[in-house]
Amino acid sequence: MRRIRLIVSYDGTNYCGWQKQPNGITVEEVLNRAISKLTGEEIEVIGASRTDSGVHAYGNVAVFDTNVRMAADKFAFAINQRLPDDIRIQYSDEVESDWHPRKNDCIKTYTYRILNRKIDIPTERLYAHFCYFNLDVEKMREASGYFIGTHDFTSFCSQKSQASSPIRTVFSLEVLQDEDMITIVVRGDGFLYNMIRIIAGTLIKVGMGVYPPSHITEIMKAKERKFAGQTMPAKGLTLVEIEYI
């Protein structure tokens, strides 16, 4: 038995997230079906990040076990022939039989995109949150520094979270601007349920002048979800990369 690793990209618009569930089609379900057709085996992939409904990915990671002797790098091409246009395997290789995408230490990079202008752009409607308030990017950048480090992120976590601990480490958080597109780039060792979308909502509040950048410290100390900003729509969020260390 061999274990094949996949780097998976997808447009999450038409999917109820990554993880297989009864109320709608998911990325995991589509991958299982495509790989099972290819190998003639009953395949169940294991994903690194269980992205939510509507979230996109450039570089999610998954593994599956197979007895097929195809060269590891050829699996990407063969699977892609059986996938819809909004899911693509970017790369495939073989790993040790006990290698697990969720149990190995890693750094995850996500982006959250905000289209900040008076009128929305239709071609961005599925990939960025539209905000017509004029955001102060410099204040957002100042506020971003308070997230860096190891903290209790209870205030930035949905109450639906099943995480055993609210402690997470954010290695970097940048607020970039290219004309009217603001991109929040976050790198960390892992994230709580809806954590990045809540951080984005909180930074937007700072950009709108609702509270000063230093107020992030008070929100963290409160350890209550109600003190942070709103949970922003999933469409602005993309899993960019998972780097194993």
The fraction of the chain above a pLDDT of 90, given in percent, is 95
Per-residue pLDDT of 94-114, as tens digits, reads 999 999 999 999 999 999 999
pLDDT of 21: 87
Q: Are 180 and 115 in contact (CB under 8 A)?
A: yes
What residues does CATH 3.30.70.660 cover in the chain?
106-244
Q: Which fold has domain 2-95?
A: Alpha-Beta Plaits (3.30.70)
- Residue 226 pLDDT greater than 70, yes or no: yes
Across the chain, mean pLDDT equals 96
CATH fold of 106-244, please?
Alpha-Beta Plaits (3.30.70)
Q: Where in the chain is the domain with CATH 3.30.70.580?
A: 2-95
Q: State how far the Cα of 129 lies from the Cα of 174, in Å rounded to an integer.
A: 17
Catalytic status, residue 52 = yes
Q: Is 110 marked as a binding-site residue? A: yes
Q: What is the pLDDT of residues 112-125, one digit of tens each?
A: 999 999 999 999 99
From 52, 65, 105, 136, the catalytic residue: 52
- The answer to whether 164 and 86 have CB atoms below 8 angstroms apart is no
Confidence label for 15 from pLDDT (cuts 50, 70 and 90): very high
Q: What is the pLDDT of residue 30?
A: 98
pLDDT at 163: 75
Q: Please say whether the beta carbons of 136 and 207 come within 8 A.
A: yes
Helix 137-144, helix 195-208: angle, nearest 10? 130
How large is the average pLDDT for residues 24-47?
98
**pLDDT value at 23 more than 90:** no
Task: Summarize the confidence of residues 220-233 as an average pLDDT.
Answer: 96
**What predicted TM-score, i.e. pTM, was given to this entire model?**
0.96
- So what's the pLDDT on residue 161? 67
